[in-house]
């Protein structure tokens, strides 16, 4: 009996050959050209190995993504088990693929490659936020995509390393703690939040950002990521434009920017108390009011989408807040979003 042959379509990588598991080569300082790096504050194994019988506080599997968003992901390169991972790891890899356009644009703009570091990578190597990451970077983006239950926290040594780095003239730290859905113990409130954002892939409780929260606490930054709020849209097709405080935006972060990416559950960056320096809310995002949420029930109509802390005291560097979804093409990236990327990359 002849063994049946399985036909597996081949999807080849476009562009240069891809490499993995290499040691980072430090970039030399170039006058007038910023070096950007991304630090994803998750444990990849900690996220990928979450128990699938747990409904809350985990990412979706790729199979769940395919089912909920059918037929968008039914091409062979996404649905073929010999071509793409179907568990949680597969869904996590979508993030990396969607950051590539940002890396490419910034690389073309600055002349420097944009490395993406992970706190714990696919191979299990742990990389704390230390001099190995900080030595050759001018603008560091820290994406708080770690579920709180995985226990990622910034150590005293990491906080001190970042604090010391921020004493260097021209540095910029962009923090992106993700949403905090279902904080309440009241199931009715969780159900209200779920109906508000309307994303079947997000469980009734999905709390992110323990690492970035611990880093902010150590740096005495009075900001906290809260909720997961659905942004308003214009004519049902495009995200509502940002409400921008141009008078406060003296650095021009939002010059030429009108909107960010549409994402069904954006964090509200609350200025929580008094810290070591003032926090300027430069942009607010109108919220979709078609379904109630505890935050809008309290009278709020916009969420804080982009914040800026100018240099203060011994901190010569600047601190920004923007959600990681703004840098991902998973949720679209129009000319306004790309202009924001360029503004971050070319800040003087």
> Which of 85, 69, 68 minimizes the C-alpha distance to 77?
85
Q: Is the pLDDT of residue 237 over 90?
A: no
Could you read off the pLDDT of 107-116 as tens digits, one per residue?
Answer: 999 999 999 9
- CATH of residue 88's domain is 3.40.50.880
State the Cα–Cα distance between residues 91 and 127, nearest whole angstrom.
22
pLDDT-derived band at 10, boundaries 50, 70, 90: very low
In a domain, 126, yes or no: yes
Residue 172, SS3?
strand
pLDDT of residue 17: 80
Q: How many domains does the structure of the chain reveal?
A: 1
pLDDT of residue 274: 62
Could you read off the pLDDT of 33-88 as tens digits, one per residue?
Answer: 999 999 999 999 999 999 999 999 999 999 999 999 999 999 988 998 888 999 99
In a domain, 7, yes or no: no
User: CA angle at residue 110 from 27 to 252, to 5 degrees?
Assistant: 125
pLDDT of residue 108: 96
pLDDT of residue 225: 97
> Which of 214, 237, 196, 199 minimizes the C-alpha distance to 153?
214
Go through 204-243 and write b for each residue having 16 or more CB atoms within 10 A of its CB, e for each that does not. ebbbbbbbbbbbbebbebbbbbbbbbbbbeeeeeebbbbe
User: Using CB atoms within 10 A of its CB, is residue 311 exposed (0-12), middle (13-18) or buried (19+)?
Assistant: middle
**DSSP letters of 234-257?**
ETTTEEPPPEE-TTT-TT-TTTT-
Could you read off the pLDDT of 279-333 as tens digits, one per residue?
Answer: 999 999 999 999 999 999 999 999 999 999 999 999 999 999 999 999 999 888 8
In a domain, 16, yes or no: no
Bridge partners, 43 (sequence order): 120
Q: Which domain holds residue 255?
A: 36-346
pLDDT of residue 129: 97
Q: Is the pLDDT of residue 5 over 70?
A: no
Q: Is the pLDDT of residue 258 over 60?
A: yes
pLDDT of residue 162: 98
Contact call for residues 216 and 225 (beta carbons, < 8 A) = no
DSSP annotation of 287 reads: B
User: Using CB atoms within 10 A of its CB, is residue 74 exposed (0-12), middle (13-18) or buried (19+)?
Assistant: exposed
In a domain, 48, yes or no: yes
In a domain, 2, yes or no: no
pLDDT-derived band at 198, boundaries 50, 70, 90: very high
In a domain, 14, yes or no: no
In a domain, 321, yes or no: yes
What kind and span of H or E run contains 285? Answer: strand 280-286
Mean residue pLDDT of the chain comes to 93
Q: Is the pLDDT of residue 91 over 90?
A: yes
The answer to whether the pTM exceeds 0.75 is yes
């Amino acid at each position: 009996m002849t063994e049946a042959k399985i036909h597996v379509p081949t999807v080849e990588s476009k562009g240069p050959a891809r490499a993995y598991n290499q040691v980072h080569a430090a970039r030399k300082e170039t006058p007038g050209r910023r070096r950007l790096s991304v630090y994803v504050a998750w444990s990849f194994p900690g996220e990928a190995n979450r128990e699938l019988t747990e409904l809350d506080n985990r990412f979706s599997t790729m199979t769940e993504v395919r089912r909920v968003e059918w037929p968008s992901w039914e091409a062979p390169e996404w649905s073929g088990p010999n071509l793409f991972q179907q568990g949680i790891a597969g869904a996590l890899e979508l993030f990396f693929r969607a950051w590539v356009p940002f890396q490419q644009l910034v690389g073309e703009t600055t002349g420097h490659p944009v490395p993406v570091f992970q706190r714990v990578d696919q191979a299990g190597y742990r990389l704390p936020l230390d001099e190995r990451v900080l030595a050759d970077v001018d603008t560091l983006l820290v994406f708080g995509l770690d579920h709180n239950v995985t226990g990622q926290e910034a150590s005293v040594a990491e906080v001190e390393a970042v604090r010391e780095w921020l004493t260097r003239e021209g540095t910029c730290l962009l923090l992106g703690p993700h949403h905090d859905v279902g904080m309440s113990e009241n199931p009715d409130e969780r159900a209200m939040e779920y109906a508000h954002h309307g994303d079947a892939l997000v469980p009734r409780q999905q709390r992110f950002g323990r690492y970035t929260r611990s880093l902010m606490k150590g740096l005495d930054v009075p900001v906290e990521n809260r909720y997961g709020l659905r942004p308003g849209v214009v004519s049902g097709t495009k995200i509502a434009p940002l409400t921008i405080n141009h008078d406060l935006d003296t650095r021009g972060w939002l010059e030429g920017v009108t909107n960010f990416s549409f994402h069904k559950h954006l964090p509200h960056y609350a200025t929580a108390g008094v810290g070591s320096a003032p926090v300027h809310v430069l942009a607010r995002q109108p919220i979709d009011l078609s379904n109630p949420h505890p935050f809008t029930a309290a009278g709020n109509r916009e969420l804080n989408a982009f914040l800026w802390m100018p240099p203060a005291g011994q901190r010569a560097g600047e601190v920004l807040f923007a959600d990681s979804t703004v840098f991902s093409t998973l949720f679209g990236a129009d000319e306004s979003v790309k202009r924001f990327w360029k503004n971050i990359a070319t800040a003087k």
